[in-house]
Structure 1
Amino acid sequence: MIDKLAFIEIQDKKVLVARTRGRNVYYLPGGKRETGESDEQALTREIEEELTIKIDPASVEFYGTFLAQAHGQPQGVMVNMRCYAGLYSGEIAPSAEIEEVAWLSYADREKVSEVDKIIFDDLKARELLD
């Protein structure tokens, strides 16, 4: 089981995604918790490292937890994704291992990892994505 956190940012009914160098799919930005970190601490650290923005920890709201086959891992290796939304300051820009950021609609669902497809379905069902 891979335990990950993700940041959900929606603008104009599109969701922010990132693509890591050398990968062929997009992911919701985020990452893994370091020892002793809370979800909020890990999320704010990962997002600042990846996208150069600062999430306001007081604004972080839990969105949901999603489980699916982990992309690029052997069959049966699952990812447990805890998703959060929140306010941020700064300009979104790719940093560290991130090669590209994009805003995707539901029509772009096939461009994302398996767990993100489930999240896209949920966002669509809540009428947050076009």
Structure 2
Amino acid sequence: MICPKCSADTRVVNSRPHAEDAKVIVRRRHCTACTHRFDTFESTRNVVKLRRNSRAGKARWAAEMPADVLAEKNRVYGLRRDAKIEETGRPLANVMRDWSIAPATRRRPLKHTSPPFPTPRANERSVTTPK
């Protein structure tokens, strides 16, 4: 583990189970460079259960989807995948346009970009405002 203060290596000074939750281990750590001391709380996850729940959720989603809509989604996904692995060196957007595939929608909105220079107020003097 690295030190949150100086990013150097740390060593474990003390390790014990958490007072309230036996699945959590509390480790007291000491930085070898800056002598900063801090605690870490470590626990485990049941990955098998997480995967099972994820697969069950996907199966429920697919079962609720009409068959024709699901088939169209799978067809378009396959075309997008094939367009990504095409080895012609052309940009993906051009390949998708040539194959008549709609571009994938963005999952996050674009960040607001500010203009390169601040817009002057009406009462401020600038190059564009008359004197």
TM-score, length basis structure 2: 0.19
Structure number with higher relative contact order (C-alpha < 8 Å, ≥ 6 residues apart): 1
Instruction: Choose between structure 1 and 2: higher strand proportion.
Output: 1
Instruction: Choose between structure 1 and 2: higher helix proportion.
Output: 2
